[in-house]
A and B are shown apart, each in its own frame.
Chain A
C-alpha cells in the first residue's frame, strides 16, 4: 500500500529493495557507508545527505565506501558493470563529474555501440544537482544537459518521491548506463509512494496537470515552481498544461508535440544554464515540428548565463521562480502576431 515518505527515503527504499531482489546490485561512493563497521558503528549518516543511511547494516558486503577519487571509483563501477554486476555509484555533486568524463563519455556510453551491441554496461551514476543550498558555484550546477548530449547515456531527472523510486528501479534494471540526477532541495519533499517495487518507463513524460492555454515543459525542481505559477495563473483564468519530462534521454517528443499542438503556446522552464540546455533543445524541436501550431514565440525561463552566485540574495535572483514562470506565461498569452 502507498504511504507518505520523502524523496530521500524513496531513493533509499529503491536501493534497498533492488539489493534485496538482485544480489548483483552493489552501491559504492564517497562516505555512503559513513564509517559503518568501524568501532562497532552500525548506523551512520549514509552519504552527505543521508540517502544511503541504513543500507550498510543490511548489506555490509555490498555497500562500499570509496577513496576520494571520482575518476577511480566511477571507472571501477563501470568496469564492474561490464563484468556482470549492477553497480549504483554515487558521485556527491555533479559539479565534480568533470574528472571522470572519459570513463563516462568514452567508455560507458560507447561500449554497446562499439562492441556491436554485444556489451552491456548496467551502471547507474547517482548525483546531486541544483542551486538553492547556498553551496556556491562549484556545488550548485545542474549539468544534466552535458550528459543528455552524449548518445549512449540515459538521463533521469525526477521531481517527486513516486517518480524517484520508480525511475531508480527502472535505472538499476536497465542494461545501459543511466545518469540519475537528484535535486538537493527535493530530498525533503513528501509524497505518496507504494511500498511495493515498481518501475516507471523511461521516455514517458508526466502530465502534471492539464490545461488549454499554455504548455509549460519542465523537469526536476522546476516542476514545483511551474505548479506554483500555474496555481496563481488559474485565478486569472489562464489554464496551464504542465509536462514533467522525467527523462531527458530518451525524450518523450510525442507528448511535447501533442500538448503544444493543443495549446499553441509554449514556455520551457529549465534550471540549467541557458545555452545548449534542455529548454533550447525543446524549443528547437517545437520550432521544427510544431511551428504551424504556435500562436506566440516560445519563451524560455532559465537562469542567466553566469556561475551560480554564493551571495544568497543573488542566488535567489538567479534561480527561476514562480514569478518568472508566470511572467513568461502572461507574455505568451498577450502576444499579438
Chain B
C-alpha cells in the first residue's frame, strides 16, 4: 500500500448488506477532511446513512454519484496534497486489480453471529473488535442486533464490542416468563457470564436503556459506564399507540405507519426494513413474546418501571442521548436529570437516533467511555 494514501471503502452496515449506492458527496473532491467528518451519503437496500472519513487528509478521488459499489469496494481515496496524481492512479488501479467482491470470496464476509446458552435461553450475538474493555450494545423493544448496524463497527476500533438479540427478539429464544425488566436484566448478566465478560460498558437503546440502567443499579461493579439512548425507565410516558400497533400489526400495510414513528424522517423507512421486521414478527413465538413484554413493561400505554429517582446513585460515567423529535418516549424525560449525568439532545432526530445520527452518537459513546477511570 502506498504511503500516505488511505482508501475510503464501502462499509458493511448489517449482515445482509452486499453493496451500497453512492448518493451524494458531502465534501468536494480536493477539499480537506478531518477524521470523523461526514464525507459521503450511502444508500443500502434497507436504509441510508453517512460515512465518516477514516483519516484526515485531502479527498483526492471519489466514485461517481449513483454507482453501486460492493461492500469493501473502493469509493474514494484520501491522501496528502503532496501525493502525486500518478501515484494515486497506481494505487487505485492496484486496488481494483486485487479487489474481490464478497459474494465470490465468502471469507471476506466479516464476523458472523454466534450462539450462546444463558439462563436456559439461546442467545444470538455478534462480536466485533478485540481486546480493550468490552462493551455491550442492547437494542430496544422489537429490535435486534442489526439496530446497531451504523455503530457497531465504528465503536469496535479499540475493544471488543458485543451486540446481542434479547430473548423474544431476533434469532434468540422466544420463550419468556414474566417479560419484566428484571428477567431481561437477569438474561443480560447471564449472557455476560457465558461469554466471560464480568464488566462491560453498556449501551442501551429504549427498552435496552432501561435494562442497562437496571443492571448498573442492581449489579454494582458490572457496568463500567452507561450510555442510555432514548431510554425507557426515566418517566411514565410512552407512545402506547406505537407499542400496541407494533405488537399487533401483522401485515405490511398495517405496520408501516408505526415503523415510521420511529424516525424523524419517515422516508428513511424502506420497504426492505419493513419486510425484515415482518419476517421477525412472523416467527413462531414472537407474537406472544412481544405481548408478554409489552404487558409487563408498558401496561395501558404507560411505563411500569421508572428508575429516575435512583439516577443519583450511579457512580459510573453516564451519558443520556435523545432525539429532539422522539415520537415514542418523550425527550422531556431528558430534562432535570442529576448533574452526575451528561445529557445531549440531538435536534431533528427521532427515536432511532443511533441510526439517524450515527456519527454524533458514536462520538458521544466513545467520549463517555473515555471518561471511565481505567
A and B from one assembly? yes
User: Distance (Å) between the CB of B224 and the closest chain A CB?
Assistant: 30
| B-side contacts of A1, CB under 8 Å | 113, 115, 124, 171
User: Distance (Å) between the CB of B24 and the closest chain A CB?
Assistant: 20
Q: Are B282 and A198 in contact (CB under 8 A)?
A: yes
The verdict on A199 contacting chain B, using a C-beta distance below 8 Å, is yes
Q: Are A198 and B251 in contact (CB under 8 A)?
A: no
Closest partner residue, chain B, to A196 (CB atom):
B283
Contact with A along B248-261 (1 / 0, CB 8 A): 00111100000000
| A-side contacts of B253, CB under 8 Å | 254
The verdict on A281 contacting chain B, using a C-beta distance below 8 Å, is no
Known: A1-B113, A1-B115. A200 touches B124 (CB 8 A): no
Q: Chain A interface mostly helix, strand, loop or mixed? A: loop
Contact with B along A212-231 (1 / 0, CB 8 A): 00000000000000000000
Known: A1-B113, A1-B115, A210-B271. A198 touches B284 (CB 8 A): yes
Contact with A along B120-140 (1 / 0, CB 8 A): 000010000000000000000
Q: Are A199 and B282 in contact (CB under 8 A)?
A: yes
The verdict on A37 contacting chain B, using a C-beta distance below 8 Å, is no
| A-side contacts of B250, CB under 8 Å | 201
- The residue from A166, A194, A196, A201 contacting B251, defined by CB atoms under 8 A apart: A201
| A-side contacts of B113, CB under 8 Å | 1
List residues of B whose CB falls within 8 A of some A CB: 113, 115, 124, 171, 174, 250-253, 271, 275, 279, 282-285
User: Distance (Å) between the CB of B271 and the closest chain A CB?
Assistant: 5
| A-side contacts of B252, CB under 8 Å | 204
The verdict on A96 contacting chain B, using a C-beta distance below 8 Å, is no
Closest partner residue, chain B, to A205 (CB atom):
B252
CA distance A196 to B279 in the complex (A): 11
CA distance A12 to B285 in the complex (A): 21
Q: Are B284 and A196 in contact (CB under 8 A)?
A: yes
Closest partner residue, chain A, to B250 (CB atom):
A201
| B-side contacts of A199, CB under 8 Å | 282, 284
User: Distance (Å) between the CB of A193 and the closest chain B CB?
Assistant: 11
Q: Are A200 and B282 in contact (CB under 8 A)?
A: yes
User: Distance (Å) between the CB of B286 and the closest chain A CB?
Assistant: 8
Contact with B along A168-195 (1 / 0, CB 8 A): 0000000000000000000000000010
Among A1, A200, A210, the one with the most B-chain Cβ atoms within 10 Å of its Cβ is A1
The verdict on A207 contacting chain B, using a C-beta distance below 8 Å, is yes
Known: A1-B113, A254-B253. A197 touches B271 (CB 8 A): no
| B-side contacts of A166, CB under 8 Å | 282
Q: Identify 11 new A-B residue pairs, CB closer than 8 A, beyond the known A1-B113, A197-B284, A199-B282.
A: A1-B115, A196-B284, A198-B279, A198-B282, A198-B283, A198-B284, A199-B284, A200-B282, A201-B251, A204-B251, A207-B275
CA distance A204 to B282 in the complex (A): 13
Q: Are A194 and B283 in contact (CB under 8 A)?
A: yes
| B-side contacts of A196, CB under 8 Å | 171, 174, 283-285
| A-side contacts of B282, CB under 8 Å | 166, 198-201
User: Distance (Å) between the CB of A256 and the closest chain B CB?
Assistant: 13
CA distance A30 to B271 in the complex (A): 42
| A-side contacts of B174, CB under 8 Å | 196
Closest partner residue, chain B, to A21 (CB atom):
B284
CA distance A1 to B16 in the complex (A): 13
17 contacts between A and B (CB under 8 A): A1-B113, A1-B124, A2-B171, A194-B279, A196-B171, A196-B174, A196-B283, A196-B284, A198-B279, A198-B282, A198-B284, A199-B282, A199-B284, A200-B282, A204-B252, A207-B275, A210-B271
- The residue from B115, B124, B251, B283 contacting A197, defined by CB atoms under 8 A apart: B283
| B-side contacts of A200, CB under 8 Å | 282
User: Distance (Å) between the CB of B282 and the closest chain A CB?
Assistant: 5
User: Distance (Å) between the CB of A82 and the closest chain B CB?
Assistant: 26
| B-side contacts of A207, CB under 8 Å | 271, 275
Among B171, B253, B282, the one with the most A-chain Cβ atoms within 10 Å of its Cβ is B282
CA distance A2 to B284 in the complex (A): 14
Closest partner residue, chain A, to B251 (CB atom):
A204
User: Distance (Å) between the CB of B127 and the closest chain A CB?
Assistant: 15
Closest partner residue, chain B, to A195 (CB atom):
B171
CA distance A198 to B276 in the complex (A): 13
| B-side contacts of A254, CB under 8 Å | 253
User: Distance (Å) between the CB of A66 and the closest chain B CB?
Assistant: 30
CA distance A5 to B252 in the complex (A): 25
Closest partner residue, chain B, to A162 (CB atom):
B279
CA distance A1 to B279 in the complex (A): 12
Among B250, B275, B279, the one with the most A-chain Cβ atoms within 10 Å of its Cβ is B279
Closest partner residue, chain B, to A170 (CB atom):
B282
User: Distance (Å) between the CB of B16 and the closest chain A CB?
Assistant: 8
User: Distance (Å) between the CB of B92 and the closest chain A CB?
Assistant: 25
CA distance A199 to B282 in the complex (A): 6
CA distance A292 to B250 in the complex (A): 31
Closest partner residue, chain B, to A169 (CB atom):
B284
CA distance A194 to B174 in the complex (A): 14
CA distance A166 to B279 in the complex (A): 10
